Amino acid sequence: MQKFITGSPEETEQLAERLAATLEGTEVIAMYGGLGAGKTAFTRGLARGLGSEDDVSSPTFALVHEYSGKFPVYHFDMYRITSWDDLYTTGFFDYMDSGVMIIEWSENIQDFLPENRIDINIRYISENEREFEIKGAKEI
């Protein structure tokens, strides 16, 4: 497990860029942490780290956004997903092994995540500071 503390959204993005540099292209990255934790900022950094110039925003309504980079990036928001049927009909399983999947609100689909994945727990410390606990990733 690796732990990091970031002091601003910019630092969060930089941390994600460093993680991006270690990826091979088909990872499943599960993020945990409530509103304002920095999940979208982290995803923005990750997409940029993979060379994407696409706009990154939380797919709360669309459920999944796709960004093109060195690998395709599939950005999921599971906030409204509460059952297996919900998850199946997002096409979640169809995306596996075809790109990097990064998931907000993984709490909601924890039973259905593949064992081989990267977990990122984000903890709120203060207004600008966050602690990132990263499991299952290569050395960042």
Partner 1 sequence: MKILAVDTTASPVSAALVSDGRLLGEFYLNIKTTHSQTLMPVVSALLEASKTDISDIDVFAVNAGPGSFTGVRIGTASVKGMSMPLDKPCARVSTLEAMAYGMPYRDGVICAVMDARCSQVYNALFRLDNGIVERLTEDRAISIEELARELEYYDEKVYLVGDGAELCSKSFEGKLENTELVPENIRFQHAYGTAMAAVRMINENKLCSSDELMPAYLRLPQAERELKARLEKQKEKDS
Q: Where along the sequence are the contacts to partner 1 (CB under 8 A)?
A: 83-85, 88-89, 91, 93-94, 96-98, 111-112, 114
- Nearer of residues 34 and 91 to partner 1, judged by Cβ: 91
> How buried is residue 117: exposed, middle or buried, by Cβ count under 10 Å (0-12/13-18/19+)?
middle
- Cα–Cα distance for residue pair 94/107, rounded to 1 Å: 20
- Nearer of residues 10 and 94 to partner 1, judged by Cβ: 94
Q: In angstroms, give the least distance from the CB of 72 to partner 1.
A: 10
Q: In angstroms, give the least distance from the CB of 105 to partner 1.
A: 17
- Nearer of residues 7 and 25 to partner 1, judged by Cβ: 25
- Cα–Cα distance for residue pair 34/41, rounded to 1 Å: 13
Backbone angles phi, psi at 16, to 5 degrees: -65, -35
